[in-house]
Chains A and B, each alone.
Chain A
Amino acid sequence: EADIYQTPRYLVIGTGKKITLECSQTMGHDKMYWYQQDPGMELHLIHYSYGVNSTEKGDLSSESTVSRIRTEHFPLTLESARPSHTSQYLCASSRAEGTYEQYFGPGTRLTVT
């Protein structure tokens, strides 16, 4: 059973607000990821991290930013939310060795009005 947590699960917020989506894992995984899932179900990698103080942008350009100050914590921040940011956001983590399968959190469904 994967131990990766995301809060909040659901968030409805007005345009222009700053938001932070939390992601934590208790598995000691070095690598962490953020995906955006569109209504058509397709997954897009928006950020990833190899470890503490490492962050990289993914395949899909995103106005969000991330930080990795602790191994277990990988928050995503939107400085000024817009309706185009409405989506499902999924956090994942994986080991640095082996078959690298990723373990996913339950997701945060964000709606910007």
Chain B
Amino acid sequence: GDSVTQMEGPVTLSEEAFLTINCTYTATGYPSLFWYVQYPGEGLQLLLKATKADDKGSNKGFEATYRKETTSFHLEKGSVQVSDSAVYFCALLGGGSNYKLTFGKGTLLTVNP
């Protein structure tokens, strides 16, 4: 079945550092890929998405590229801020499914001033 493996946290960075959170997946067909972010005490918000190979999703300075050859969708940001402290989830929607999101286990990011 479909699965998502993402980098285990917690990840602690200083402000303005470069961020990478690794995400790899296993899926049948051609999945859509997502990154969600969960700020403390809140629900999940869609951060970015990519629906086909080589697509790059971007939002709020975050980027991720859908790499079919390496089955990866790594999240990057060039310069993190304290306000980026949150839990980040990688997720996929399998090519044969029209409802079921498969989530990774989440990565807690803490950015210190």
> Which chain A residues have a beta carbon within 8 Å of chain B's beta carbons?
2, 6, 31, 33, 40-43, 45, 48, 50, 90, 92, 94, 96, 99-107
Q: Is the CB of A105 within 8 A of B99?
A: no
Residue of A nearest to B89 (CB): A43
Distance, CA A103 to CA B99, complexed state (A) = 12
Q: Is the CB of B98 within 8 A of A100?
A: yes
Tell me, rounded to whole Å, the shortest Cβ–Cβ distance linking A41 to chain B.
4
Q: List 14 A-B contacts (CB under 8 A).
A: A2-B45, A31-B99, A41-B38, A41-B105, A41-B108, A42-B106, A43-B89, A50-B99, A90-B44, A99-B32, A99-B49, A99-B93, A101-B32, A107-B43
Tell me, rounded to whole Å, the shortest Cβ–Cβ distance linking B22 to chain A.
17
| Also in contact, A105 and B43, with CB within 8 A (given A41-B87, A99-B51, A99-B93) | yes
Q: Is the CB of B44 within 8 A of A42?
A: no
B25 contacts A by Cβ under 8 Å? no
Q: How many contacts between A and B, using CB within 8 angstroms?
A: 53
Tell me, rounded to whole Å, the shortest Cβ–Cβ distance linking A22 to chain B.
14
| Also in contact, A104 and B45, with CB within 8 A (given A94-B99, A99-B32) | yes
Collect the chain A residues with CB atoms within 8 Å of residue B38's CB.
Answer: 41
Q: Is the CB of B99 within 8 A of A100?
A: yes
Q: Is the CB of B108 within 8 A of A106?
A: no
Q: Is the CB of B99 within 8 A of A101?
A: no
| Also in contact, A104 and B44, with CB within 8 A (given A99-B32, A99-B49, A99-B93) | yes
User: Which are the 6 A-B pairs with shortest beta-carbon distances?
Assistant: A104-B43, A41-B106, A104-B44, A106-B43, A43-B103, A107-B43
Residue of A nearest to B107 (CB): A41
Distance, CA A106 to CA B89, complexed state (A) = 16
Residue of B nearest to A100 (CB): B93
- Contacts beyond the supplied A43-B89, A94-B99, A100-B98: 16 A-B pairs with Cβ under 8 Å: A2-B45, A33-B99, A40-B105, A41-B87, A42-B103, A45-B101, A48-B100, A90-B44, A96-B98, A99-B93, A100-B93, A100-B99, A103-B46, A106-B42, A107-B42, A107-B43
